[in-house]
Amino acid sequence: MVETEAIGHVFLIGINRPAKHNCVDQATAQQLCDAVKCFETDEELRVAVLYGKGLYFVVFLTVLPSV
């Protein structure tokens, strides 16, 4: 799950999957792409900060074949 929040000119993008050590799976990757698009289209925002909630930033990328 990806959480976003705008504070002034700063756009926070948080990966919130602590049980999975914030690994990025296909759904999380899509949510990250959506968050970046949101940042890019808002002219009031100046900087985006990507962070991981919990003890881990991002441990690894989960690659699974699509079913």
Mean pLDDT of 11-40: 92
Residue with tokens 């899509």: 30
Q: What percent of the chain has pLDDT over 70?
A: 87
pLDDT higher at 54 or 35:
35
Question: Given pLDDT bands bounded at 50, 70 and 90, which one contains residue 67?
Answer: very low
Structural domain boundaries in the chain: 2-52
Residues 6 or more apart whose CB falls under 8 angstroms from that of 63 comprise none
Residues with Cβ < 8 Å from 21, sequence gap 6 or more? 54, 55, 56, 58, 59, 60
Average pLDDT, the chain: 88
pLDDT above 50: residue 25: yes
Please provide the DSSP assignment of 15-32 as one string. Answer: E--GGGTT-B-HHHHHHH
Architecture of domain 2-52: 2-Layer Sandwich (3.30)
Q: What is the pLDDT of residues 29-46, one digit of tens each?
A: 899 999 999 999 999 999
